[in-house]
Amino acid sequence: MRESIFLIGAGNVGYHLGRHLVDRGCRVTGVFSRSIEKAQALSELTGIPHCHTFNEIDPTADLYLLAVSDAAIAPAARSLYQMGIRDKLLAHTSGATPSSVLRPYSTRYGVFYPLQTFSRERVLDFSKIPLCIQANGKEDEALLFHLGERLSEAVYRIDDQQRAVLHVAAVFVNNFTNHLFQAGWDILERESLSFDLLRPLIEETAAKVLAYRPSDMQTGPAVRGDQATVDRHLEYLQEQPQLQELYRLLTRHINPDLEV
Ligand SMILES: NC(=O)c1ccc[n+]([C@@H]2O[C@H](COP(=O)([O-])OP(=O)(O)OC[C@H]3O[C@@H](n4cnc5c(N)ncnc54)[C@H](OP(=O)(O)O)[C@@H]3O)[C@@H](O)[C@H]2O)c1
């Protein structure tokens, strides 16, 4: 793919996308970031030229990838529009925001959503990350699809409605589970016990859900209907009412017959 790409945003997603686009030989002609440090970090690693004000953005790129916070997608697209970038393909990287937020700012718009959790400090194998692609025109959809194939073996055409649903499911399997891991961490920390004790359990839980239907692998007092153990856990959590409430809610959801 010889089209030139301009990256807007050098946060968690922008950083990883920028690195992998360059690794895969794509032509990234610049990165815009409000934060100088983040743009510099990406620039030093990849050689992508960086800028910090919208009027420094190269108006001749073929594709503008908007890897900015969801609330900033429309304002960033508006800034490009105000600079006269109007007939270029704009694509954002969000699971939660419809592609139509870009419609007022270009005749050509789409989505390039990598379905993974990104943190700058983590090295990722991009080739395994599902890329959810969408565009309002067939040619642009093909362009984004081919770009996706440069990065990943798993590229899918996913429309706004499907992506919104995927995002809800992703919040359950990633954001909520991560929050629950932190709850486990906090409980052990209060008792001066090491989180290392839980690491093998976390690994086996993840390994099982990759191989089986999660509900078939459910263990623990709730699914066993073990009221006495559930009561003891609730008693232990009395001093942490928010965690106790969360425990009740999840227990009830696993087994509505228990008294919680
Ligand atoms: N992180 C994930 O796991 C993940 C996964 C898939 C998709 N996404 C999506 O990818 C997008 C970026 O997420 P992220 O995790 O990379 O977020 P992030 O790390 O918080 O980075 C957000 C970027 O947006 C910039 N930004 C925020 N407000 C702006 C504004 N008003 N004008 C210009 N730039 C602005 C930030 O600049 P500063 O650094 O200067 O604040 C930063 O470069 C979001 O739509 C998100 O939903 C995230």
pLDDT tens per residue across span 127-139: 999 999 999 999 9
Kindly give the residue spans of alpha helices, DSSP state H, lying in the chain.
12-23, 36-46, 70-82, 138-151, 160-170, 177-190, 199-211, 221-224, 227-236, 241-254
| 82 CB-side CA count, 13 A | 9
Q: Report whether residue 77 contacts ligand 1, using a CB cutoff of 6 Å.
A: no
Does pLDDT of 113 surpass 70?
A: yes
Q: Residue 87 — very low, low, confident or very high, per pLDDT cuts 50/70/90?
A: confident
Calculate the CA dihedral of residues 31, 27, 64, 171 and round it to 10 degrees. -80
The residue type of 23 is: D
Contacts of residue 80, defined as CB under 8 A and 6 or more positions apart, other chains included, come to 8, 54, 57, 64, 88, 90, 105, 106
The residue type of 162 is: Q
Question: What pLDDT was estimated at residue 2?
Answer: 82
For 186-220, write each residue's pLDDT tens digit.
999 999 999 999 999 999 999 999 999 999 999 99
Question: What pLDDT was estimated at residue 129?
Answer: 98
For 20-43, write each residue's pLDDT tens digit.
999 999 999 999 999 999 999 999
Over residues 232-260, the mean pLDDT reads 97
Among 108, 120, 111, 96, which residue's Cα sits nearest to residue 18? 120
Mean pLDDT of the chain: 97
Q: Report whether residue 114 contacts ligand 1, using a CB cutoff of 6 Å.
A: yes
In DSSP terms, 89 is beta-bridged to 63
Residue 196 tokens, joined: 């290392």
Q: Report whether residue 11 contacts ligand 1, using a CB cutoff of 6 Å.
A: yes
Q: Residue 92 — very low, low, confident or very high, per pLDDT cuts 50/70/90?
A: very high
Length of the chain: 260
- Report the nearest-CA residue for atom 15 of ligand 1: 12
> Which residue among 7, 37, 69 is best mutated to probe the pocket of ligand 1, counting the most ligand atoms within 8 A of its Cβ?
69
- Ligand 1 atom closest to residue 97's alpha carbon, by position in its atom list: 45
Calculate the CA dihedral of residues 162, 167, 172, 177 and round it to 10 degrees. 140
Distances (CA, A) of 201 to 6, 74, 207, 214, 250: 43, 42, 10, 15, 19
Report how far ligand 1's centroid is from the alpha carbon of 10 (Å): 7
Among 50, 101, 224, which residue's Cα sits nearest to residue 90? 101
For 55-66, write each residue's pLDDT tens digit.
899 999 999 999
- Report the nearest-CA residue for atom 30 of ligand 1: 72
Report how far ligand 1's centroid is from the alpha carbon of 84 (Å): 23
* Chain center to CA of 234: 33
Question: What pLDDT was estimated at residue 184?
Answer: 98
Q: Report whether residue 178 contacts ligand 1, using a CB cutoff of 6 Å.
A: no
Report how far ligand 1's centroid is from the alpha carbon of 69 (Å): 4
* Chain center to CA of 8: 16
Q: What is the pTM of this model?
A: 0.94
Q: Residue 1 — very low, low, confident or very high, per pLDDT cuts 50/70/90?
A: low
Among 140, 106, 147, which residue's Cα sits nearest to residue 2? 147
For 142-194, write each residue's pLDDT tens digit.
999 999 999 999 999 999 999 999 999 999 999 999 999 999 999 999 999 99
Q: Residues 62, 88: contact at Cβ < 8 Å?
A: yes
The SS3 of residue 153 is coil
Q: Report whether residue 10 contacts ligand 1, using a CB cutoff of 6 Å.
A: yes
